[in-house]
Structure 1
Amino acid sequence: MMNKPYVIGIAGSSGSGKTFFLKSFLNHFKSDQVTLISQDDYYIPANTKTREENRLYNFDIPTSINRADFYKDIKQLFEGQTVFREEYTFNNPDLKPQMLEIKPAPILIVEGLFIFHYTEVNELLDYRIFLDADESVALDRRLRRDLIERGYDEEDVMYKWTNHVVPSYQEYLLPHKEECDLVIINNTDDPKVIDEAANKISVELHEKNSTLNII
């Protein structure tokens, strides 16, 4: 059994720049030093729903996630075991899901909208990062992503934003903002802002290398 990993929880509003931050952060480490497990890959499948049902279905509530499996797989990484999980493609028929191989590492990144709300997951975190952006900025990013990457139409995106995304953020994520160790406000598309934050944290972690076994 390996030593308990140093667990970093990363959450943020939709359109806050989490994906870019994660890529930047991971680039500061070798592949065997850090691993990532994402809540997004634990959505309960909704691909059997009609287009209209899919539009109305709320993916932004805690019960849309297979919470038990998410927690079980995090604990499995704690025990030094590799996790295999099929990638979730957000019901995009043009994307073929890959089988993800998530290997244990000294640093574990846990990412997702509800990671602070899920008490059993939150208790495992050693460091909490909250990414945020003004609503108008976040909506613009969400529109660009969902229209291009996920094949949604603008009416669908706006419906979900108003009825699902914003209410969920306010109820399940925003109340935890003050509990976090680091809050990053990302209202620009300047990668320097995100990269500097990622670099700062990575430097701190490399300084902990004696306890984290990071070379």
Structure 2
Amino acid sequence: MTQTNAPYVVGIAGSSGSGKTFFLNSFLNHFAPHEVALISQDDYYIPANTKTREENKLYNFDLPTAIDRAAFFRDIETLVDGRTIFRKEYTFNNPALKPKLLETRAAPILIIEGLFIFYYEEVNALLNHRIFLHAEEEIALQRRLKRDLVERGYNDEDVRYKWVNHVMPAYRQYLLPYRDLCDRIIINNTDDPAPLVAIIDEISTELRTKVF
């Protein structure tokens, strides 16, 4: 079944380690499944084996060209048109993980998240509301180290190399220039979730007033 009205589209972006995952999970918990849809840029990475390795044998995923931009936008348009999309889950090139088939149904609120969503003009043009999450660089790095070392099994040297040569250059070039154009800038430098939860509560209430 398709919905008749276009959704209210919210774009959420932030640096690695800014707290996007916690923000998104907490935000989605404020709505029933039929009220909100989420589409993530991370599910549109072009397979690693199609990329050129650097001299240290690492791939650079922090480039706009690392994403299947056409497929990402096509699926966004499908959701905006009120139709369901199906997409294989991205498993961070972990051969031990079998990707799930993700089903995303159209909903009155559509959340688009990813590093390049403001840089991709065709995506940015669809956004009704833009949210930018920010954390100080050292805090963000420590969060990235904790995540990649523990959850993804990377080693410390690789994580730090990617941070300096991939993550921060991409953030400065493709996301930071759009910060002041966003409707809301959220500073998340604390590991205490309470301030972020309060902001999420506020945004959720505002959205309910606008959309429902």
TM range (shorter): over 0.9
1:54, CA displacement in angstroms?
8.5
Q: Which string of whole-angstrom CA distances, capped at 9 and with x for unpartnered residues, describes residues 188-215 of structure 1?
A: 111112211111111011112xxx3x3x
Distance in structure 1 (CA, Å) of the matches to 2:181 and 2:57 = 33
Are the aligned partners of 1:12 and 1:113 in contact in 2 as well (CA < 8 Å)?
yes
Q: Which amino acid aligns with 1:28?
A: H
Q: Which string of whole-angstrom CA distances, capped at 9 and with x for unpartnered residues, describes residues 140-163 of structure 1?
A: 000011111112111111110010
Q: How large is the RMSD of aligned CA atoms in angstroms? A: 1.7
Q: Does 1:199 align with 2:198?
A: no
Aligned to 1:159: 161
Q: Which amino acid aligns with 1:172?
A: Y
Distance in structure 1 (CA, Å) of the matches to 2:102 and 2:37 = 12
Are the aligned partners of 1:47 and 1:91 in contact in 2 as well (CA < 8 Å)?
no
Change (3 A) 1:41 1:103: same
Q: Please show how residues 14-163 of structure 1 align to structure 2 within 5 Å.
A: 14-47=16-49, 55-163=57-165
Are the aligned partners of 1:13 and 1:133 in contact in 2 as well (CA < 8 Å)?
yes
Distance in structure 2 (CA, Å) of the matches to 1:101 and 1:158 = 34
SS at match of 1:56: coil
Q: Which amino acid aligns with 2:196?
A: I
Listed as ranges, the gaps of 5+ residues in structure 2 are none
Change (3 A) 1:53 1:88: farther
Identity in percent: 66
Corresponding residue pairs, total: 210
Q: Please show how residues 161-176 of structure 1 align to structure 2 within 5 Å.
A: 161-176=163-178
Distance in structure 1 (CA, Å) of the matches to 2:135 and 2:60 = 22
Aligned to 1:11: 13
- The TM-score normalised by the length of structure 1 is 0.93
